Amino acid sequence: MGGSTFGERFAVTTFGESHGGALGVIVDGCPARIELSEADVQVDLDRRRPGQSRIVTQRQEADRVTIHSGVFEGLTLGTPIGMTVANTDARPGAYSEMATTYRPSHADYTTDAKYGIRNWQGGGRASARETVGRVAAGAVARKILALAGVEVLGWVSSVSDITADVDPAEVTRDDVEADPTRCPDTAAAARITEAIDAARHDGNSLGGVVACVARGVPPGLGEPVFDKLDAELAGAVMSLPAAKGMEIGSGFAGTLMTGRTHNDEFAPGPDGRPVTVTNRSGGIQGGISNGADIVLRVAFKPTATIASEQKTVTSSGEATVLAARGRHDPCVLPRAVPMVEAMVCLVLADHLLRQQTTQLADTPSPPQPSG
Query: By CB neighbour count within 10 A (0-12 exposed, 13-18 middle, 19+ buried), where does 195 fall?
Result: buried
pTM of the model: 0.92
Q: Residue 283 in contact with residue 290, Cβ under 8 Å?
A: yes
Q: Residue 328 in contact with residue 204, Cβ under 8 Å?
A: no
> Which position has the higher pLDDT, 116 or 19?
116
Q: Per-residue confidence at 365, pLDDT binned at 50, 70, 90?
A: very low
> Which position has the higher pLDDT, 108 or 28?
28
Structural domains of the chain, ranges and CATH numbers in brackets: 5-355 (3.60.150.10)
Q: Residue 233 in contact with residue 282, Cβ under 8 Å?
A: no
DSSP 132-183: HHHHHHHHHHHHHHHHTT-EEEEEEEEETTEE----TTT--HHHHHTSTT--
Under DSSP, the state recorded for 249 is T
- In tens, the pLDDT along 288-315 reads 999 999 999 999 999 888 878 889 898 8
Average pLDDT on 323-334 reads 79
Q: Name the least confident of 159-173, 203-217, 253-267, 320-334.
A: 320-334
> Which position has the higher pLDDT, 96 or 217?
217
CA–CA dist 124, 16 (Å, integer): 8
